[in-house]
Amino acid sequence: MGKRPPALEERLVKALEMIAPGKLLRDAIDNIVRARTGALLVFADEDELRPMISGGIDIDVKLAPMILYELAKMDGAILLDRTGAHILHANVQLMPDASIESQETGTRHRTAERVAKQIDELAISISAARDVVTVYLGDIRYIMDPIRTILDKADQALRTLEKFKSRLIQVSTSLSSLEFQEAATLFDVLSVLQRSEMMLIIVQEIERYIIELGTEGRLVQLQLGELMVNVRQDRNAVLADYLPDNSPARLDEARRALSDLHHDELLSLGRIGEIMGYAPEINALEKHVHPRGYRILGKIPRLNERTIEAVVHRFGNLQAIVDASLEELAAVDGVGTVRGREIKDGLVRLRELNLLERYG
Give the model's pLDDT for residue 7. Answer: 58
pLDDT tier, 75 (very low <50, low <70, confident <90, very high otherwise) = confident
- Rounded CA gap, 121 and 130, in Å? 24
Residue-number span of the structural domain to which 354 is assigned = 292-360
User: 290, 320, 350 — which closes off a domain?
Assistant: 290
Residues 106 and 175 both lie in one domain: no
Average pLDDT for residues 277-301, to the nearest whole number?
A: 93
Same domain, 296 and 333: yes
Q: Could you read off the pLDDT of 214-246 as tens digits, one per residue?
A: 999 999 999 999 999 999 999 999 999 999 999
- Residue 220 within any structural domain of the chain: yes
pLDDT tens-digit profile of 9-62? 788 999 999 999 999 999 999 999 999 999 999 999 988 888 899 888 999 899
Same domain, 116 and 219: no
Q: Quick check: is 5 in a domain?
A: no
Q: Is the pTM of this model over 0.75?
A: yes
Q: What is the pLDDT of residues 311-356, one digit of tens each?
A: 999 999 999 999 999 999 999 998 999 999 999 999 999 988 877 7
Q: What is the CATH number of the domain that holds 315?
A: 1.10.150.20
Q: Do 107 and 151 share a domain, yes or no?
A: no
Q: Tell me: the pLDDT tens digits for 152-188?
A: 999 999 999 999 999 999 999 999 999 999 999 999 9
Q: Give the mean pLDDT of 263-272.
A: 89
45 & 176 share domain: no
59 occurs within a structural domain: yes
Query: Does 283 fall in a domain?
Result: yes
- Residues 149, 282, single domain; the answer is yes
Mean pLDDT of 281-295: 94
Residue 3 lies in a domain: no
Asked if residues 209 and 180 have their Cβ atoms less than 8 Å apart, the reply is no
Among residues 241, 269, 290, the one where a domain terminates is 290
SS (H, E, C) 242-273: HCCCCCHHHHHHHHHHHHCCCHHHHCCHHHHH
CA distances from 7 to 145, 149, 234 (A): 18, 20, 22
Q: Are residues 222 and 241 in the same domain?
A: yes
Q: Does one domain contain both 257 and 149?
A: yes
At 2, the pLDDT band (50, 70, 90 cuts) reads: very low
- Where does residue 207 rank: exposed (0-12), middle (13-18), buried (19+ CB within 10 A)? middle
Q: Answer whether residue 252 is part of any domain.
A: yes
CA 47 to chain centre: 35
245 and 335 both lie in a single domain: no
Give me the pLDDT at residue 1, please.
Answer: 38
Asked if pLDDT for residue 195 goes beyond 90, the answer is: yes
Looking at the domain assignment, is residue 2 inside a domain? no
pLDDT for position 129: 81
CATH number of domain containing 200? 1.20.1260.110
Residue 4 belongs to some domain of the structure: no
Of 61, 65, 60, 62, which is closest to residue 22 (Cα–Cα)?
A: 65
Q: How confident is the model at residue 359 (pLDDT cuts 50, 70, 90)?
A: low
DSSP letter at 303 equals -
**CATH code assigned at 114:** 3.40.1700.10
Residues 61 and 174 in one domain: no
Task: Looking at the structure, tell me whether residues 132 and 154 fall in a common domain.
Answer: no
Domain boundary among 110, 144, 178: 144
Q: Are residues 175 and 129 in the same domain?
A: no
At residue 297, does pLDDT exceed 50?
A: yes
What's the domain count of the chain?
3
**Average pLDDT value over all residues in the chain:** 92
